[in-house]
């Protein structure tokens, strides 16, 4: 028992995390809220998380090389536009390539402005976003105005889709041309506590995965390897920490920054193309809906690491998926928040932080009463769940994060003398 208590003391965050997961599982046992942990929800989570994940990975490259990239949103917009345009004309894989290209061009513009001309990074990023929105609108008018389904704000439906696969034996994929069992589906249907929920998670992540999703997910380990296990990665990161020192060692600081920012554009472009090709099948104005900004936020609270971004984007994808798939289950989250806040207030009061404890307790009751007196959460609130999650998570995490030392500071060649 004392071992257990010590574990809790040493791993407060892990315990807190496990606590949340446990109650999520408990709530998911209630029939109304069963959508919280089905394979369908997790599959949707993945589809919705990947655009944020990709743009976030791009953000890491840019920020690790020392350039703040608030233009991720604009680069993503270019990805959606070019992705839809090429996918409509030539098919989905051409859309992917064109999306990457569109984002890359805008990444290059950001690099020219911030690295060569040393414009303030945020000012340039804001300008990129404005330019991208205008460009997309203008291109749409030029390219789609005379098409039957297209117009100033949307493209015609794209042709074809990227094929998908399932894992054999576990998720009912084909093996050497034969149908195999769908073990995870069977387990999920048994409705066992924990086992079925985990099967739902694994099933959702391994059933009917498109090849593009697979590529996107595999970029996480690839980025980790490139940034932390190759000389190039070391050079790129050193430029974001201490450019003067890097230059004295013969590293081409400008080149590294150019590569970092341009890559972030390419990743954001891919994110945009994914959004069009895998989610909507069509380009629509404002389709990105701030995902580029959320990606930037997930870079920050992911502590500038790919795994952190993966977790952050997963969280947003989950919130988004619940909103799309079932409104009842979002209602269940109110109960979860109430329980978590209650536990937090007990912890705070126990540690004599009475003011914060009281606030927490009050909010716990507030959410509890809201939960008991309603059957659903208003759509308008559900819509900004990801954004409010960002604010809350950042409020708790910001002070413990360590950003690249010289991120956001303009650097001029030969500054070190």
Partner 1 sequence: MKVYLKILSFLTPLIALAISFGLTTFILILIDRDPVETFTLMFDYGTTGKSIISILNRSIPLYISAVAVAVGFKMGMFNIGVEGQYILGALIAAQVGAVLILPRPLHVLTIFIVAAVVSGIWAGISGYLKVKKGVHEVISTIMLNYIGAGIVAYLLANIFFEKDEDNSLKVPQTNYLSESGQLPPLNNILGLEELPNLNSFIVGAVFVGIFYYWLVWKTSLGFDLRATGLNPVAAKFSGADPNKLIVLAMLISGGIAGLVGMSNLVGYFHRYTIDFPTGLGFAGITVALLGRNHPVGMALGALLISFLERSSQILDLNNIPKEIERIMQGIVILVVVVSYEVVRRYILTQEVKLASRMVDKDE
Instruction: Quote the CA–CA distance of 41 and 285 in Å, as a whole number.
Output: 26
> Residue 415, interface with partner 1 (CB under 8 A)?
no
Three-state secondary-structure class, residue 173: strand
The one among 29, 118, 280, 409 contacting partner 1 by CB under 8 A:
118
CB 398, min distance to partner 1, A: 4
Our finding on whether 21 is near partner 1 (CB under 8 A) is no
Q: Which position among 49, 236, 300, 407 is part of the footprint of partner 1 (CB under 8 A)? A: 300
Contact 45, 314 (CB under 8 A): yes
**How many residues at the interface with partner 1, by CB under 8 A?**
45
| One residue of 98, 113, 209, 334 binding partner 1 per CB under 8 A | 113
Comparing CA positions, the residue from 280, 297, 283 lying closest to residue 53 is 297
Using rule CB under 8 A, residue 18 touches partner 1: no
Between the alpha carbon of residue 70 and those of residues 66, 83, 324, the distances in Å are: 13, 21, 27
Pick from 145, 244, 362, 369 the residue near partner 1 by CB under 8 A.
145
Closest CA to 274 of 18, 403, 63, 84: 84
151 binds partner 1 (CB under 8 A): no
Q: Rule CB under 8 A: choose which of 380, 402, 414, 417 binds partner 1.
A: 380
| Phi and psi, residue 205, nearest 5° | -90, -10
Indicate whether 234 belongs to the interface with partner 1 (CB under 8 A): no
| Helix locations, 112-194, DSSP H | 121-144, 183-189
Q: Is 359 in the site for partner 1 (CB under 8 A)?
A: no
Are 115 and 121 in contact by the 8 Å Cβ rule? The answer is no
Stretch that binds partner 1, among 20-28, 202-210, 340-348, 393-401 (CB under 8 A): 393-401
Chain-centre distance for alpha carbon 260 = 19
* Interface positions, 80-99, toward partner 1 (CB under 8 A): none
Interface with partner 1, residue 374, by CB under 8 A = no
Per rule CB under 8 A, is residue 180 in the interface with partner 1? no
282: contact with partner 1 by CB under 8 A: no
Nearest-angstrom CA–CA distance, 398 and 301: 7
Stretch that binds partner 1, among 140-148, 180-188, 260-268, 363-371 (CB under 8 A): 140-148
Contact between 253 and partner 1 per CB under 8 A: no
- φ/ψ of 148, rounded to 5, equals -65, -45
Identify whether the C-beta of residue 143 lies closer than 8 Å to the C-beta of residue 150: yes
367 exposed, middle or buried (CB, 10 Å; 0-12, 13-18, 19+)? Answer: buried
Residue 119 near partner 1 by CB under 8 A? yes
* Residue whose CB is less far from partner 1, 125 or 203: 125
Question: CB-based burial of residue 16 (10 Å sphere; 0-12 exposed, 13-18 middle, 19+ buried)?
Answer: middle
Query: With respect to partner 1, which residue has the nearer C-beta, 120 or 241?
Result: 120
By CB under 8 A, residue 127 contacts partner 1: yes
Residues that bind partner 1 (CB under 8 A): 70, 109, 113, 117-120, 122-124, 126-128, 130-135, 137-138, 140-142, 145, 152, 290, 293, 296-297, 300, 378, 380-381, 383-384, 387-388, 390-391, 394-396, 398-399
């Amino acid at each position: 028992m004392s071992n257990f208590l010590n574990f809790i003391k040493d791993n407060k965050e892990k315990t807190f995390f496990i606590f949340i997961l446990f109650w999520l599982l408990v709530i998911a046992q209630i029939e109304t809220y069963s959508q919280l942990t089905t394979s369908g929800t997790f599959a949707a989570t993945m589809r919705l998380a990947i655009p944020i994940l990709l743009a976030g990975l791009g953000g890491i490259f840019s920020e690790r090389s020392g350039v703040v990239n608030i233009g991720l949103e604009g680069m993503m917009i270019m990805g959606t536009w070019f992705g839809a345009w090429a996918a409509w004309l030539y098919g989905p894989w051409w859309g992917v390539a064109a999306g990457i290209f569109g984002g890359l061009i805008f990444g290059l513009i950001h690099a020219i402005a911030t690295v060569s001309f040393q414009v303030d990074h945020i000012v340039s990023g804001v300008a990129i976003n404005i330019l991208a929105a205008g460009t997309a609108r203008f291109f749409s008018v030029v390219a789609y105005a005379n098409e039957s389904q297209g117009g100033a704000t949307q493209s015609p439906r794209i042709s074809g889709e990227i094929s998908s696969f399932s894992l054999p034996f576990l998720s009912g994929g084909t093996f050497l041309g034969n149908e195999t069992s769908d073990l995870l589906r069977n387990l999920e249907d048994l409705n066992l506590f924990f086992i079925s929920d985990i099967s739902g998670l694994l099933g959702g992540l391994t059933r009917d995965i498109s090849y593009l999703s697979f590529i996107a997910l595999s970029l996480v380990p690839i980025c980790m390897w490139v940034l932390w296990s190759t000389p190039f990665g070391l050079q790129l990161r050193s430029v974001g920490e201490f450019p003067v020192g890097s230059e004295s060692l013969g590293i081409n600081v400008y080149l590294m920054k150019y590569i970092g920012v341009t890559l972030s554009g390419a990743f954001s472009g891919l994110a945009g193309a994914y959004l069009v090709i895998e989610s909507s099948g069509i380009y629509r104005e404002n389709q990105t809906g701030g995902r580029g900004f959320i990606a930037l936020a997930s870079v920050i609270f992911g502590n500038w690491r790919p795994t952190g971004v993966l977790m952050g984007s997963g969280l947003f994808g989950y919130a988004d998926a619940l909103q799309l798939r079932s409104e009842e289950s979002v209602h269940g989250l109110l109960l979860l928040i109430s329980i978590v806040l209650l536990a937090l207030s007990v912890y705070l009061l126990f540690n004599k932080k009475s003011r914060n404890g009281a606030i927490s307790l009050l909010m716990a009751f507030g959410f509890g009463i809201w939960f008991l007196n309603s059957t659903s959460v208003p759509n308008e609130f559900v819509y900004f769940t990801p954004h409010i999650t960002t604010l809350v998570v950042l409020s708790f995490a910001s002070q413990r994060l360590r950003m690249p030392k010289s991120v956001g500071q303009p650097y001029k060649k030969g500054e070190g003398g």
